[in-house]
Homo-oligomer: A and B are copies of this chain.
């Protein structure tokens, strides 16, 4: 078995099991532990896996691990939150999605603000409930445990009945050509309904997600009214969106 073969074998097994044991590998490939160790070292140096004492973990594992970070890019998201809050006026009905950006916004709502927030995101609900002057409407249905938002037909129908003044959308990907895109079918349907139910729509995203896309489209760029990032509106990166008619804050 050649070195390349061995390393491919290791990566393949990592794809399947998300982890490999050194002892296991050297048996299955019939080489010494040192050889396996060296292979793992090389693959780790090349950034193809994560070496740990006794074996290795797949990179996918590290992503899961990263997902459990409190809120990443919190600094940027705080800036975004402030800009978004500027759009909310007294006694508005505001429809919000889930996501950490929205959550950050929810936590920074000024105490004197009185408005009604409608959402299916449980973490957002929690934040709104902590606010002294915000009325809260929960749209209910089956709850997706991963994203902690309600999904399903009842949610969609409920949102269709709403006439909100503003929709605040945390977006995962935005792109000139493909518009707003996402990767979860339920979430896409939800966001479509939210946009349709609101007079105006603002998209909140960190600049790192600008000009990226995901497999499923939520809407074209011309359906959104505001784009909010942590960058200054005059930033080079944002000019295409300004030209396309979006109000960039």
8 A Cβ contacts from A29-64 to B: 50, 52-55, 57, 59-61, 64
**Contact between B52 and A3, CB atoms less than 8 A apart:** yes
Complexed CA–CA distance, A4 and B58 (Å): 12
Interface residues of A (CB under 8 A from B): 2-5, 8, 11-12, 14-15, 19, 50, 52-55, 57, 59-61, 64-65, 67-68, 70, 120, 122, 125-126, 129-130, 135-143, 145, 148, 150, 154-155, 158
Which residues on B sit within 8 Å (CB–CB) of A155? 140
Complexed CA–CA distance, A125 and B122 (Å): 8
What are 23 A-B pairs with beta-carbon distances under 8 A?
A: A2-B19, A2-B53, A2-B54, A2-B57, A3-B52, A4-B57, A5-B61, A8-B64, A8-B65, A59-B70, A64-B126, A120-B138, A120-B140, A122-B122, A122-B126, A126-B126, A129-B143, A137-B141, A138-B138, A138-B142, A140-B140, A140-B158, A154-B158
**Contact between A60 and B70, CB atoms less than 8 A apart:** yes
**Contact between A138 and B122, CB atoms less than 8 A apart:** yes
**Contact between B138 and A143, CB atoms less than 8 A apart:** yes
Which residues on B sit within 8 Å (CB–CB) of A150? 138, 140
